[in-house]
Amino acid sequence: MKEYAIDYYNKYMNSVSANSYVVTLELLERANNQGNSNYDLSKLENYDKNSSVTLIVDEAKKITDIRYDLKYT
């Protein structure tokens, strides 16, 4: 999920000014459903849709830390 979260951040979120960005499994699924992405989420199908990866970024928008909140159903 880390790679997909980073890709999602780069495609959709990095133009927003914030110190952290939360990418949920639900957001990744929506991107797939809208045809904007083709994430292989099959390995994550047993996780709650609210499972997330939080990307912490610095002022230059470089990712400095990654935090996981994965909820197995």
Distance CA 21, CA 55 (A): 5
What pLDDT is attached to residue 16?
85
Tokens of 37: 């992405």
Dihedral sign for Cα atoms in the order 43, 46, 47, 49: positive
β partners of residue 56: 20, 65
What tens-digit pLDDT sequence spans the chain (73 residues)? Answer: 999 999 999 999 988 889 999 999 999 999 999 988 999 999 999 999 999 999 999 999 999 999 999 999 9
Q: Against a cut of 0.85, is the pTM above it? A: yes
